[in-house]
């Protein structure tokens, strides 16, 4: 090949810069990846075991499923996958830019800051300190820390490295890193906007915040809008935290490991931009048939379908890069990990669009099918790609042979077998339960009216999942051992070679538009071919990181605003219901307990307008019913039954005894015991702050915001409920406990829809939605 214009530009050879790559930071991130991977997967195995065998939670409040599940997801996504992404970015960016990271200090602040965030997560989530939004559970001080570390340390360092690069063009891996950094910032900031209790107390109620008051906040969004923001975030966290950076990883490490050119540059361009633009729209497919407006659901579905090929573009470019190198794949475990990782990417990005089809989703939603889908993505794509990268990096980072290649092979086979067992069992569980929920007999009755029957039938599958998870977990333990032993054999002093590269000259002239091979077409067609089809325009962008980043930002912002503006502005999206009133102060306190215990991890509060569902749970949920829900608690999985209309369906006494020990009433229940709530006193002093916070967010609380009023109202209601509980033959000592507040909340759920509207509101009611 003749040298292209990039390198041929230099007539007189410029003086070469001398510099070194910072591999110490890559070593740190790599070790953290493995260490946190062990923690994340162990937590996964533990909660998987709890579903098959509830006593495995040891009866402790800190180790119940609702508290540990967020720890598992956060550890897997942000600790394991996150550190892997950073290792990949720090290793490849320096080499793709021919430049050391801009600031070693920022690199280290990023590393230690991120580990601090993870430690904070581990120290808050088991104690019920959570915002109650999936994958965004961390409380506001940690959220602030994430923003600083992500954009302030990582982003600044990355973009300054791009600015100081010595390679004229940005390689496709860097495009994906840019998209990751820009979009995750946006997602994190806007989804996490919240009002902290401590601020309310300092500013409004004049109390000095005590203890965990510093660590409690509520989403500024409510109900439909909060659901929309949450799944805009949740879906795109998958897109821009678990997909784009891993595509970047693939584009660097796969051709390196295979020593093959990338299959198609033009495909890179097309699939990058289509992926970035289309992914953002697809969030509402997580909310099919819920109370979101139909147009949003439709957009979520059709953009997911359009996302199929952009996603597969990455798979094609990955797998076809290996053409002619398949014999290497057979011999090299690194490539085996990559091939399986990319294959799982292909499978889950086909499955994703399929699950977004409304009728498929009506079966899969709330079941384990979704869990199987995310694990084929997380364990298959993210996990296997990470392991491939780690094994490729180990000898390079520690400058010695890998300790045991046989152990690498053993890890590969253990993890793929574990993965297969896991997903097959959980696909089966998901489809089984989905079908049981909607099964009717000939007389028109639900065939499995008792929810727990549909749970019991899954237990064998849950055991297989435990086995599969254990195998996958043992794989990462092998990886840990291999890493440790390789590290031990490292040289006393790492070789730190000098790299030489010419700085970019400032007077670079864009090369001319290439000649087109087309001869018979009109001038416009010839120009189109040269500029667009051959990718010349994109070559120009690749020389301008700032422009490239702004274009990426524009793509995600425009797509987001198309959905957000109508969601927030069109009133008819959320028809108001006159009989829906704010929670009482006691119920509000109970709701915060519901959130802290992580009840939403197993119970949805959203009845879809599907026949079987209305039959089982009652009238479907209306958008106007959750207008005061900061944050929304619609949930995403029904490990237990839906609670949207739980209010009044059981007696107070039943609810209390059920919390105390679910199995004394539902023999086969797998729900944890919440006996601690019957012992722990409710913090009445913080209720005023909680009510005032809601009022500041727009909930019409009226009288209750007056100093001292909310706590008095809460005590009054608690006394009345306690009296009623005693009349029902229940316990007589619960008036000031958390359990009674939680039950007060549960007894309110879904009852407003049929409650009589107050006379004053009747004229308004006539203009709003009619309730059948």
Binding residues among 238-267 for other proteins as defined by CB under 8 A: 252, 255-256, 261-267
Number of residues that bind other proteins (CB under 8 A): 79
616 binds other proteins (CB under 8 A): yes
Based on CB atoms, which residue is closest to other proteins, 57 or 268?
268
Contact status: 756 vs other proteins (CB under 8 A): no
Backbone angles phi, psi at 219, to 5 degrees: -55, 140
Q: What is the residue-wise DSSP string for 159-227?
A: HHHHHT-SSSSPPHHHHHHHHHHHHHHHHHHHHS-EEEHHHHIIIII-PPP-GGGGG-EEES--HHHHH
Concatenate the DSSP letters of all residues of 275-340 into one string. HHHHHGGGGGGGGTTSSS-HHHHHHHHHHHHHTHHHHHHHHHHHHHHTTT-HHHHHH-HHHHHHHH
Locate 25 and state its tokens. Answer: 């930071």
Residue pair 39/572 in contact by the 8 Å Cβ criterion: no
DSSP SS3 for 671: coil
| Interface stretch with other proteins, choices 114-122, 134-142, 202-210, 643-651 (CB under 8 A) | 643-651
Using the 8-state DSSP alphabet, how is residue 661 labeled? -
Q: Least distance in Å: CB of 259 to other proteins?
A: 8
- Closest-CA residue to 160 (of 105, 114, 111): 105
User: Minimum distance between the CB of residue 666 and other proteins, rounded to whole angstroms?
Assistant: 6
Among 727, 733, 764, 766, the residue binding other proteins under the rule CB under 8 A is 727
Residue 123 or 439: which CB sits closer to other proteins? 439
Could you say which residues in the range 1-30 bind other proteins, by CB under 8 A? 1-6
Task: Tell me if 303 contacts other proteins by CB under 8 A.
Answer: yes
Which of 133/645 has CB closer to other proteins? 645
Helix axes 156-163, 82-97, angle to 10 degrees: 10
Phi, psi dihedrals of residue 665, rounded to the nearest 5°: -115, -35
Count the neighbouring beta carbons within 10 Å of the beta carbon of residue 119.
Answer: 11
136 versus 269: smaller Cβ distance to other proteins:
269
Touching other proteins, residues 462-501 (CB under 8 A): none
CA distance 678 to 684: 15
Cβ–Cβ < 8 Å for 752, 580: yes
* Residue 45 or 275 with smaller CB distance to other proteins: 275
Residues 644-673 that bind other proteins (CB under 8 A): 645, 648-654, 657, 665-666
Instruction: Annotate each residue in 515-544 with x if it binds other proteins (CB under 8 A) or - if it does not, as one string.
Output: -------------------x----------
Note whether 634 binds other proteins by CB under 8 A. no
Interface residue with other proteins, options 54, 234, 618, 640 (CB under 8 A) = 618
The residues, ordered by sequence, that sit 6+ positions from 308 with a Cβ below 8 Å of its Cβ are: 349, 350, 352, 353
Distance, in Å, from the CA atom of 116 to the CA atom of 566, rounded to the nearest integer, reads: 38
Nearest residue (CB) to other proteins, 108 versus 516: 516
| Footprint on residues 269-298 left by other proteins (CB under 8 A) | 270, 274, 289, 294-295, 298
Footprint of other proteins on 396-425 (CB under 8 A)? none
Is 472 in contact with 412 (CB distance < 8 Å)?
A: no
Please, what is the minimum distance in Å from the beta carbon of residue 92 to other proteins?
A: 8
Are the beta carbons of 201 and 604 closer than 8 angstroms?
no
117-156 positions binding other proteins, by CB under 8 A: none
Nearest residue to 150 via CA among 142, 139, 161: 142
- CA 489-88-139 angle, to 5 degrees, is 110
**Residue of 331, 445, 498, 569 interacting with other proteins (CB under 8 A):** 445
Asked if 96 interacts with other proteins (CB under 8 A), we say yes
- Does 508 bind other proteins (CB under 8 A)? Our answer is no
Range 580-599, binding other proteins (CB under 8 A): none
Decide whether 437 or 701 has the Cβ nearer to other proteins. Answer: 437
Q: Does 712 bind other proteins (CB under 8 A)?
A: no
Shorter beta-carbon distance to other proteins: residue 410 or 755 = 755
Nearer to other proteins, 267 or 564 (CB): 267
């Amino acid at each position: 090949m003749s040298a292209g214009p990039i390198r041929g530009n230099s007539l007189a050879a410029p003086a070469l810069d001398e510099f070194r790559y910072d591999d110490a930071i890559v070593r740190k991130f790599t070790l953290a990846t493995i260490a946190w991977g062990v923690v994340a997967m162990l937590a996964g195995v533990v909660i998987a075991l709890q579903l098959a065998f509830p006593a495995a939670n040891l009866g402790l409040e800190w180790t119940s499923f609702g508290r540990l599940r967020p720890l598992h997801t956060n550890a897997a996504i942000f600790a394991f996958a996150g550190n892997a992404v950073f290792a990949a970015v720090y290793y490849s960016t320096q080499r793709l830019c021919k430049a050391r990271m801009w600031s070693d200090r920022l690199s280290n602040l990023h590393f230690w800051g991120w580990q601090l965030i993870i430690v904070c997560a581990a120290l808050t989530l088991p104690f019920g300190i959570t915002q109650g939004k999936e994958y965004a559970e961390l409380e506001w001080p940690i959220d602030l820390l994430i923003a600083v570390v992500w954009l302030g340390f990582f982003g600044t360092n990355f973009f300054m490295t791009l600015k100081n690069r010595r390679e004229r063009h940005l390689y496709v891996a860097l495009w994906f890193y840019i998209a990751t950094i820009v979009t995750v910032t946006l997602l994190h900031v806007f989804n996490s906007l919240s009002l902290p209790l401590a601020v309310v107390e300092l500013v409004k109620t004049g109390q000095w915040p005590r203890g965990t008051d510093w660590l409690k906040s509520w989403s500024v969004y409510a109900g439909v809008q909060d659901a929309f923001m949450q799944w805009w975030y949740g879906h795109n966290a998958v897109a821009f935290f678990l997909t784009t950076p891993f595509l970047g990883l693939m584009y660097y490490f796969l051709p390196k490991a295979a020593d093959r050119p990338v299959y198609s540059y033009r495909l890179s361009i097309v699939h990058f931009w289509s992926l970035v633009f289309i992914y953002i729209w697809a969030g509402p497919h997580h909310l099919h048939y819920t109370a979101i407006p139909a147009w949003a659901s439709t957009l979520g579905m059709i953009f997911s379908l359009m996302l199929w090929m952009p996603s597969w573009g990455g798979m094609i470019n990955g797998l076809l890069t290996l053409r002619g190198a398949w014999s290497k794949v057979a011999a090299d475990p690194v490539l085996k990990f990559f091939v399986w990782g990319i294959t799982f990417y292909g499978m889950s990005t086909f499955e994703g669009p399929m699950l977004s089809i409304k009728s498929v989703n009506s079966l899969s939603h709330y079941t384990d099918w979704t869990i199987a889908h995310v694990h084929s993505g997380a364990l298959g794509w993210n996990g296997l790609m990470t392991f491939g990268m780690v094994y490729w990096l180990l000898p390079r980072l520690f400058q010695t042979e890998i300790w045991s290649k046989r152990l690498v092979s053993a890890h590969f086979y253990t993890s793929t077998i574990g993965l297969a067992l896991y997903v097959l069992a959980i696909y089966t569980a998901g489809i089984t339960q989905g079908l049981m929920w909607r099964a009717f007999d000939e007389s028109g009755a639900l065939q499995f009216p008792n929810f727990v029957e549909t749970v019991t039938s899954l237990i064998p599958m849950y055991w297989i999942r435990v086995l599969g998870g254990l195998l996958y977990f043992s794989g990462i333990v092998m990886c840990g051992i291999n890493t440790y032993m390789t590290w031990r054999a490292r040289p006393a002093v790492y070789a730190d070679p000098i790299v030489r590269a010419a700085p970019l000259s400032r007077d670079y002239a864009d090369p001319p538009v290439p000649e087109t091979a087309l001869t018979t077409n009109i001038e416009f067609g010839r120009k189109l071919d040269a500029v667009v089809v051959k990718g010349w325009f994109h070559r120009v962008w690749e020389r301008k990181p700032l422009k490239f980043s702004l274009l990426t930002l524009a793509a995600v912002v425009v797509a987001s605003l198309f959905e957000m503006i109508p969601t927030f502005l069109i009133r008819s999206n959320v028809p108001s219901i006159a009989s829906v009133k704010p929670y009482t102060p006691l119920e509000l306190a109970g709701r915060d307990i519901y959130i802290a215990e992580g009840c939403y991890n197993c119970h949805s509060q959203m009845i879809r307008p599907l026949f079987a569902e209305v039959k089982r749970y009652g009238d479907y949920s209306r958008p106007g019913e959750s207008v005061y829900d900061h944050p929304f608690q619609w949930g995403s999985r029904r490990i237990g039954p839906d609670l949207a209309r739980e209010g009044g369906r059981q007696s107070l006494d039943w609810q209390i005894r059920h919390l105390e020990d679910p199995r004394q009433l539902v023999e086969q229940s797998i729900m944890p015991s919440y006996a601690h709530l019957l012992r722990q006193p409710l913090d009445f002093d913080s209720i005023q702050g909680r009510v005032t916070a809601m009022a500041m967010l727009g909930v019409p609380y009226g009288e209750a915001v007056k100093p001292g009023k909310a706590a008095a109202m809460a005590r009054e209601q608690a006394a009345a409920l306690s009296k009623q509980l005693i009349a029902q033959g229940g316990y007589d000592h619960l008036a000031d406990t958390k359990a009674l507040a939680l039950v007060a909340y549960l007894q309110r759920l879904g009852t407003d829809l049929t409650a009589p509207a107050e006379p004053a509101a009747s004229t308004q009611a006539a203009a709003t939605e009619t309730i059948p």
